[in-house]
Amino acid sequence: MPVATPDQYAEMLDRAKAGGFAYPAINVSSSQSINAVLQGLTEAGSDGILQVTTGGADYFAGHTVKARATGALAMAKFATEVAKNYPITVALHTDHCPKPALDDFVMPLLAASEEQVKAGGEPIFQSHMWDGSAVPLAENVEIAKELLPRLKNINAILEVEIGVVGGEEDGVKHEGTNDALYTTTGDVAQVVEALGLGEAGRWIAALTFGNVHGVYKPGNVKLKPELLGEIQEGIAAKFGTGVKPLDLVFHGGSGSTDEEIALAVANGVVKMNIDTDTQYAFTRSVAGFMFSNYDGVLKVDGEVGNKKAYDPRAWGKIAESAMAARVIEATQQLGSAGQSKS
């Protein structure tokens, strides 16, 4: 199926919220990882989201070049073309854009989409994340307020982060565990007062409830997914809306238990970012292949090796299938498996 149109993406999110499930949003940084996600989603019968960070986009452009807007456009064009061969629908999203990267990442991509929409096409990415977690909340909200009309004009969605996700994601780093790792209802109310609840443009929110990017063992991070429900109730009461007025995003979920994920989804999470686990699945399978086939991938003791072993396709397809398996697991945890309408 083609990449989702903006209306299809909005319908995907609405259906997830109404159906009590969420979509996996997988970070990609190569054609292999894109293919792996598409394979996994197809085998699971799930729609999903392909997303790219500034670092991933730099890599797509060539690691010696680091032209992230170019890399993101290349990622989108590749994904848009190859997705046509798969019977599921995917949306494209840019992940974690901090303030220093706005001018060379999101802004050029918005401009490119504006030109494409002006010519009668669809936006290149269906949503963009503004990561204002490193600036004061007032500035975070002000920049979001400036971005939202531009996204609305191209029928795209803005993702904002309210609070601080600990750990590091492609250079966006926060140390320690403190009160900032837990978003408050008052924080979210300030954002709602500035952005509205959809009338000025659609936005989704990455609230923080103890999340940490990167690698950690279960139990080492104090997640409080019940906080999401409390914030939903507080916003509903303050602004007189129906239940669960916010569309939420779960960042930093590696090591989370099935119960924590389920409670987050029940409290309005419609998108869960997955990066660390899929990276490990990909690389672990490559390491296993290399160890098991060392005398084929290396020219040992004057031998010639085995071309069928060191051909990158030999281990590449194994790595893609291993990453695809982790994607399938994510769809099962989030309840999106078997939910594709494609």
Per-residue model confidence as pLDDT tens digits over 114-144:
999 999 999 999 999 999 999 999 999 999 9
Residue-wise pLDDT for 26-58, tens only, equals 999 999 999 999 999 999 999 999 999 999 999
User: HSE-up of 148 (CA within 13 Å, CB side)?
Assistant: 22
Does position 175 have pLDDT exceeding 90, yes or no? no
Residue-wise pLDDT for 312-339, tens only, equals 999 999 999 999 999 999 999 999 999 9
Virtual torsion, Cα 211, 90, 128, 258, nearest 10 deg: -10
Spatial distance between the Cα atoms of 77 and 63, rounded to a whole number of angstroms: 19
Q: How confident is the model at residue 277 (pLDDT cuts 50, 70, 90)?
A: very high
Q: 3-state DSSP call for residue 315?
A: helix
Helix, strand, coil proportions of the chain in percent (round to 5)? 50, 15, 35
Between strands 167-169 and 172-174, the pairing is antiparallel
Q: How confident is the model at residue 185 (pLDDT cuts 50, 70, 90)?
A: very high
Q: What is the pLDDT of residue 163?
A: 86
Sign, CA torsion 44/158/20/226: positive
CB 296 within 8 A of CB 310: yes
Residues annotated catalytic, as ranges: 95
Q: How confident is the model at residue 215 (pLDDT cuts 50, 70, 90)?
A: low
Locate 132 and state its tokens: 């204002």
Spatial distance between the Cα atoms of 231 and 266, rounded to a whole number of angstroms: 13
Does position 174 have pLDDT exceeding 90, yes or no? no
184 to 21, 126, 187, 226: CA distances (angstroms):
24, 28, 5, 12
Locate 118 and state its tokens: 């002006």
Closest CA to 43 of 339, 299, 265, 337: 337
Locate 212 and state its tokens: 């940490």
Count of beta carbons in the 10 Å neighbourhood of residue 313 = 10
Chain-centre distance for alpha carbon 13: 14
Does position 177 have pLDDT exceeding 50, yes or no? no
Does position 166 have pLDDT exceeding 50, yes or no? yes
Q: What is the pLDDT of residue 180?
A: 67
Q: What is the pLDDT of residue 220?
A: 56
Q: Which residue carries 């429900």 as its tokens?
A: 229
Does position 181 have pLDDT exceeding 90, yes or no? no
| Averaged confidence pLDDT in the chain | 93
Q: What is the pLDDT of residue 81?
A: 98
DSSP annotation of 5 reads P
Spatial distance between the Cα atoms of 139 and 147, rounded to a whole number of angstroms: 12
Spatial distance between the Cα atoms of 52 and 126, rounded to a whole number of angstroms: 12
In percent, the amount of the chain with pLDDT more than 90 equals: 87
Does position 171 have pLDDT exceeding 80, yes or no? no
Q: What is the mean pLDDT of residues 155-177?
A: 69
Q: What is the pLDDT of residue 169?
A: 47
Q: What is the pLDDT of residue 188?
A: 98
157 to 6, 110, 198, 246, 271: CA distances (angstroms):
8, 12, 10, 13, 13
Spatial distance between the Cα atoms of 263 and 98, rounded to a whole number of angstroms: 28
CB 51 within 8 A of CB 93: yes
Q: What is the pLDDT of residue 148?
A: 98
